[in-house]
């Protein structure tokens, strides 16, 4: 059971005070009957709620994958900068949040949902959910770095990180750049950038490719998003059980 106003706020219809006013004016019906008190308790699984004759279905959970573009921040709201939530035009719920954080200049896979349990499990340090990144590095990445990363290393400030799997995709000696893929099992602040700094190189481009079993859909250009499929949601849940 849920209050009618809460139901409609969650479905992003309007603010609680606006809904109170709409109800008072007789614009809201439950199972076809006008309900004038917006604090009326309804059953969100059974009752049919409509505003101005339009049915507002209840959606418990929403799951989106966003290909986060550079330049937007991983937050729900911000006075100055665009946030990842601003990009999600087709969401229904008003309580979505990004799972974990990508830096402002990082691109790639970001899960956005209102499923707090799943988010908690994906981010729990003990679960060690794999995150895979693609990066362009200023500097030459060598086999030596692969070994350093694989052995569990110390960052410049002394923070210890768990072993990561570094793969060298391409090295360009003339430009002094390297392209790599890195798999890590935790998510410390600026972790990828700090790991490369610790070996005297610098990340100039960073993109997350996957998080656990969830892989960025490569048809999504930066800024685009789509809902997860039921299979993707089930895989994420199974991977974090």
Binder among 73, 141, 166, 206 for ligand URA (CB under 6 A):
206
* Binding residues among 106-165 for ligand URA as defined by CB under 6 A: 106
Q: Is 143 a catalytic residue?
A: no
Strands (E), 27-106: 28-30, 33-34, 41-42, 49-51, 54-55, 63-68, 97-98
Q: Give min distance, CB of 22 to ligand URA, in A.
A: 42
Q: Which is nearer to ligand URA, 49 or 109 (CB)?
A: 109
Q: Which is nearer to ligand URA, 13 or 148 (CB)?
A: 148
CB 103 within 8 A of CB 57: no
Q: Could you say whether residue 197 binds ligand URA (CB under 6 A)?
A: no
Q: Give min distance, CB of 99 to ligand URA, in A.
A: 13
Q: Could you say whether residue 102 binds ligand URA (CB under 6 A)?
A: yes
Residues that bind ligand URA (CB under 6 A): 102-103, 106, 190-193, 206
């Amino acid at each position: 059971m849920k209050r009618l106003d809460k139901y409609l706020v969650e479905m992003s219809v309007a603010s609680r005070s606006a809904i109170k006013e709409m109800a008072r004016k007789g614009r809201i019906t439950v199972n076809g009957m006008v309900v004038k008190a917006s604090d009326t308790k309804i059953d969100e699984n059974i009752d049919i709620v409509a505003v101005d004759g339009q049915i507002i279905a209840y959606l418990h959970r929403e799951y989106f994958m966003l290909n986060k573009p550079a330049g937007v921040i991983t937050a729900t709201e911000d006075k100055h900068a665009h946030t990842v939530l601003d990009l999600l035009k087709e969401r229904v719920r008003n309580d979505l949040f990004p799972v974990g954080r990508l830096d402002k200049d990082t691109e790639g896979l970001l899960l956005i949902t209102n499923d707090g349990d799943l988010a908690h499990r994906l981010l729990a340090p003990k679960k060690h959910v794999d995150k895979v990144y693609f990066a362009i590095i200023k500097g030459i990445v060598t086999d030596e770095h692969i070994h350093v990363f694989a052995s569990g290393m110390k960052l410049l400030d002394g923070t210890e990180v768990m072993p990561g799997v570094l793969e060298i995709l391409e090295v360009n000696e003339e430009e002094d750049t390297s392209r790599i893929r890195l798999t890590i099992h935790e998510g410390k602040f600026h972790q990828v950038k700090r790991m490369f700094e610790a070996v005297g190189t610098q990340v100039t481009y960073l993109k997350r490719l996957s998080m656990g079993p969830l892989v960025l859909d490569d048809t999504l250009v930066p800024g685009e998003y789509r809902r997860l499929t039921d299979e993707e949601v089930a895989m994420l849940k199974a991977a974090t059980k």
